[in-house]
């Protein structure tokens, strides 16, 4: 079987084969929050975020976007949306001001990014359960994801879709093309319906999202976990692999 070489092709394949299966399960063990997104639900979020980036904010294939979020299920959504649109994902530390078209930030860095709304699109995630809006209005010029994403459609097709050799990720000295996301995705040997428990940042370690998406499995992303609780989660979620190993 030929491995798909772009994000839209990989996601379309998963939607055809097992749309109702879990894809991303998120735990914040400090707050007790647990969110589980099926392939279809995650794809709907990705489509909405893609439309927000392209149709509302005017980003184009090849533009650079910083995902300045802590490990979170919304971070996986914006990774998917960026690759769905042919954007290049980076981090704030790696992007010069003139290189960056947009940033997705959280509450901890919102005030700093709000000062740059004149030069790039600033999207802010409250990181509250269910992806809801900030409790207080965000600064002028900032897009509150928890408000603006809900009106976007559940399907998105790029008018200028990404190609296999398009740059998809540039973090530090590491670069990956659209095709490279999938050729380097096998970090744990996940197969079938396997579940990968990870405590890493998907932006820095994109394979923790790409491997389950490609292999037909799912990601269990856990933050702020103590070792004993992490092991209990591994058992409770029927995980079959972990990252780091």
Is 190 in contact with 240 (CB distance < 8 Å)?
yes
Mean pLDDT of the region 204-212: 95
Report the pLDDT averaged over residues 71-100: 90
- pLDDT averaged over the chain? 94
Which of 5-19, 95-109, 112-126, 217-231 is the least confident region? 95-109
pLDDT over 90 (residue 94): no
The structural architecture, per CATH, of the domain 7-243 is 3-Layer(aba) Sandwich (3.40)
Alpha-carbon distance 101 to 195, whole Å?
34
pLDDT tens profile 109-156 = 999 999 999 999 999 999 999 999 999 999 999 999 999 999 999 999
Q: Return the closest-CA partner of residue 143 out of 8, 192, 151, 163.
A: 151
* pLDDT for 154: 95
- pLDDT tens for 148-183 read 999 999 999 999 999 999 999 998 889 999 999 999
Q: For position 192, what pLDDT does the model report?
A: 86
The residue among 244 and 2 whose pLDDT is bigger is 244
Sign of CA dihedral 124, 127, 131, 135: negative
Q: Of 28, 87, 83, 77, whose CA–CA distance to 48 is shortest?
A: 77
Whether the upstream peptide bond of residue 94 has omega within 30° of 0, thus cis, is no
Q: Which pLDDT score, from 0 to 100, does residue 38 have?
A: 98
d(CA 98, CA 182) in angstroms, rounded, equals 29
The pLDDT value recorded for residue 104 is: 97
3-state secondary structure the chain: CCCCCCHHHHHHHHHHHCCCCEEEEEEECCCCEEEEEEHHHHHHHHHHHHHHHHHHCCCCCCCEEEEECCCCHHHHHHHHHHHHHCCEEECHHHCCHHHEEEEEECCCCHHHHHCCCCCCEEEECCCCHHHCCCCCCCCCCEEEHHHHCCCCCCCCCCCCCCCCCCEEEEECCEEEEHHHHHHCCCCCCCCCCCEEEECCCCCCCCHHHHHHHHHCCEEEEEECCCHHHHHHHHHHCCCCEEECC
**The pLDDT of residue 92:** 75
In Å, how far are 39, 221, 242, 244 from 28, measured between CA atoms?
A: 21, 9, 17, 18
Other CB atoms within a 10 A radius of the CB of residue 175 amount to: 13
Q: Residues 117, 141: contact at Cβ < 8 Å? A: yes
Q: What is the pLDDT of residue 1?
A: 54
Q: What pTM, to 2 d.p., does this model score? A: 0.96
């Amino acid at each position: 079987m030929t491995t798909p070489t772009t994000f839209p092709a990989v996601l379309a394949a998963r939607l055809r084969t097992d749309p109702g299966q879990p894809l991303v399960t998120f735990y914040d063990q400090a707050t007790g929050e647990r969110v589980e997104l099926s392939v279809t639900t995650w794809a709907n979020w990705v489509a909405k975020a893609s439309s927000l980036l392209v149709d509302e904010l005017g980003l184009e294939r090849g533009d650079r976007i910083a995902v300045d979020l802590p490990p979170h299920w919304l971070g996986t959504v914006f990774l998917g949306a960026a690759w769905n649109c042919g954007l290049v994902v980076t981090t704030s530390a790696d992007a010069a001001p003139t290189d960056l078209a947009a940033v997705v930030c959280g509450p901890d860095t919102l005030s700093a990014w709000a000062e740059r709304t004149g030069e790039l699109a600033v999207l802010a995630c409250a990181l509250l359960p269910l992806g809801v809006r900030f409790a207080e209005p965000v600064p002028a010029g900032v897009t509150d994801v928890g408000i603006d994403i809900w009106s976007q459609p559940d399907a998105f097709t790029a008018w200028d879709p990404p190609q296999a050799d398009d740059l998809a990720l540039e973090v530090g000295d590491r670069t990956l093309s659209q095709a490279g996301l999938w050729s380097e995705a096998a970090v744990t040997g996940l197969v079938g319906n396997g579940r990968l428990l990870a405590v890493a940042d998907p932006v820095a370690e994109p394979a923790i999202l790409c491997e389950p998406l490609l292999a037909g499995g799912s990601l269990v992303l856990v933050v702020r976990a103590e070792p004993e609780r992490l092991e209990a989660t591994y058992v409770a979620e029927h995980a079959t692999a972990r990252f780091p190993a």
